[in-house]
Structure 1
């Protein structure tokens, strides 16, 4: 900013400005989590065969979410190869957590998405061995 605009801008001020701009553009990430159950319900109603799951803990805090679109499930047996890959990547925003994806390859060797999920952590004990 000093070279471009002649302004001294600290790291904290720049980060705060970026955070505020993202909040204005996309809203509060915590509010987005509150909208997920309604989004999942609408997704299931408008896409026949879609499967979703949204789980919270005993204090009503988000634990994990999952979705597999009905069209993907329907075509699963006819287009996939026999290897399914599951992977996760850590999210670095304020909400943290992990994004999970399940994919395989179709008959044309193209990536075929099967399901998506997100959770607080990659591995989490649920207290009953699963």
Structure 2
């Protein structure tokens, strides 16, 4: 910043500036989790047979959310090998949640998506 614009910028000021821009661009990450029930309801209405589940703990805090589209489940039941693989990646946001992806292979050795899970830990 100093070379390009002649501004001395501390690390913490750059961090908070980036955080503020991300908040304005994408909104509050916790607000997104509050919208999950509405999103899952609309997903079930537009895709009959889709399976969704949101689990909360005793203090009404989000624990995990599960989503499996009906087309993926039907494909798994008819043409996919019955071997499932689960992989996780940590979401590097304020929420610190984990995204789990459940996949399997089809007859052509291609990866077939089965479902997603958003969880607070593996």
Which portions of structure 1, spanning 4 or more consecutive aligned residues, are displaced by more than 6 angstroms? none
**1:33 maps to which residue?**
33
Work out whether 1:94 is the aligned partner of 2:64: no
User: What's the offset of the Cα at 1:40?
Assistant: 0.5
Extract unaligned runs of 5+ from structure 2: none
For residues 119 and 82 of structure 1, the distance between their equivalents in structure 2, rounded to whole angstroms, comes to 24
Structure 1 residues 12-42: Cα deviation after superposition (integer angstroms, max 9, x where no partner): 1111111111111110011111110111111
For residues 76 and 118 of structure 2, the distance between their equivalents in structure 1, rounded to whole angstroms, comes to 21
User: What's the offset of the Cα at 1:76?
Assistant: 1.0
Structure 1 residues 49-86: Cα deviation after superposition (integer angstroms, max 9, x where no partner): 10000011121110110000011111112332232101
Give the paired residue count. 122
SS in 1 for 2:39: helix
TM-score of the two chains, using structure 1 as the length reference? 0.88
Extract unaligned runs of 5+ from structure 1: 123-130
For residues 36 and 20 of structure 1, the distance between their equivalents in structure 2, rounded to whole angstroms, comes to 23
**1:115 maps to which residue?**
115
User: What's the offset of the Cα at 1:116?
Assistant: 0.3
- Over the aligned positions, Cα root-mean-square deviation in angstroms equals 1.1
